[in-house]
Amino acid sequence: MDDHGLELRTTITGEGMLRLTLDRVPLKQPGEGELLVRIEAAPINPSDLGLMFGPADMDSLARDGEALTARIPDRAMGAMRARIDQPLPIGNEGAGTVIAAGPDRQDMIGRRVAMLGGAMFATHRLIAARDVLPLPDGASAEEGAALYVNPLTALGFVETMRAEGHKAIVHAPAASNLGQMLVRICKADGIGLVNIVRKPEQAAMLRDLGATHVVDSSQDSFREDLTRAIEETGATISFDAIGGGEMTSTILNAMEAVAQKNMDGYDRYGSQVLKQAYIYGALDLSPTVLRRGFGFAWNIGGWLLFNALQKLDPEVRARMRQRVADEMTTTFASHFTARITLQDALDPDTARAFNAKATGAKYLLTP
């Protein structure tokens, strides 16, 4: 066994600089109940990028010796106080092969596993055996790399919808890997789903997957198309990863327009139909703008996988995990458009490219 590994770490200095470095770290022998995994694949999710680059000015990305650096705008430093000068590891999830194990888990050596838990953008990860998902024989690391964040988020949307008494979902942007999983889940489960995409080719791709309601925000008829799709599905809950701008507001106003069609007369307070919107990402960091034409029966909240899972019954969570394992290569298959090494991540042009968060473009780190 090697005695050192490499770990990608992000630091924001007190002087307002971001430093991304690939640090040599000593490898520890796994203790009781622990595994040492050689990481073979880890997806770069939008949720990783927030930690990786923080509010850095991406135009200022530059190489400084072995490090990738960028300036943090002064106005953004206040919110970074809690992480100043701390080198933080990155990477929510990944997959790899167990190369060492505690005395009680020697049976796991050589097994390929999927993992959740941070610090996955590294050559190795020490992890509790109970926190890994052993992959079926023959499964590749790439197939196992993204079995937590997107699959559980997509299933989580459906569970939140059920728990809060809604019957159909609006999702934006819908062409992402996560969006594709949601299309497959809703199709299999008979749940109405309104998919909002930003380009005609994304609409075509989702229709090929079997999506019934796809509306394209780049079209002039977007608002009418959205309203019609909401009417046809009865959707009263939405999940929006864009966050900034008017998407959530547009969805709520379309839901209210549908609700008002079913009202007997005018009510200055709007309809009584509760319209629920969740913001689960921040692809657009600009402010959320709400044009409040949707009455008073509405609710907007942050949606975070970890918090949502905690609200669910343990048996629901177990059912979700089992489904992900069973449908790994179908419902929950991810599609990656580029593969890069840990060293590549420190290249300014490469970093700018994977930080663009273009829907449909998905990077896989292969340490």
By the criterion CB under 8 A, which residues form the site for a second copy? 47, 50-51, 79, 82-83, 86, 88, 243-244, 249, 260, 263, 265-269, 272, 279-280, 282, 287-293, 295-304, 306-307
Could you count the other beta carbons within 10 Å of the beta carbon of residue 268? 6
Least distance to a second copy from the beta carbon of 306, Å?
Answer: 8
Least distance to a second copy from the beta carbon of 244, Å?
Answer: 8
Nearer to a second copy, 92 or 331 (CB): 92
Nearer to a second copy, 278 or 336 (CB): 278
Least distance to a second copy from the beta carbon of 85, Å?
Answer: 11
Bridge partner residues of 5 (DSSP) = 25
Helix orientation angle between 149-163 and 314-326, rounded to the nearest 10 degrees: 140
Nearer to a second copy, 280 or 332 (CB): 280
Taking Cα atoms as reference points, which of 135, 66, 33, 55 lies closest to residue 94? 135
Least distance to a second copy from the beta carbon of 82, Å?
Answer: 4
Nearer to a second copy, 209 or 290 (CB): 290
Contact 335, 181 (CB under 8 A): no
Beta-strand pair 67-71/88-89 = unpaired
Contact 213, 188 (CB under 8 A): no
The SS3 assignment for 154 reads helix
> Distance between CA 291 and CA 252 in Å, rounded?
9
The encoded tokens of residue 66 equal 């072995």
Nearer to a second copy, 234 or 302 (CB): 302
Nearer to a second copy, 298 or 332 (CB): 298
Least distance to a second copy from the beta carbon of 207, Å?
Answer: 30
Least distance to a second copy from the beta carbon of 37, Å?
Answer: 23
Nearer to a second copy, 103 or 165 (CB): 165
> Distance between CA 174 and CA 206 in Å, rounded?
8
**Distance set, CA 254 to CA 129, 168, 261, 267, 280 (Å):** 47, 14, 11, 17, 20
Least distance to a second copy from the beta carbon of 111, Å?
Answer: 31
Q: What per-residue string of b and e applies to 11-21 under the rule 16 or more CB within 10 Å gives b? A: bbeeebbbbbb
Contact 117, 281 (CB under 8 A): no
Least distance to a second copy from the beta carbon of 140, Å?
Answer: 29
> Distance between CA 254 and CA 200 in Å, rounded?
21
Give the N- to C-terminal CA distance of the chain in Å, as an integer: 16
Residue count of the chain, please give it.
367
Nearer to a second copy, 267 or 326 (CB): 267
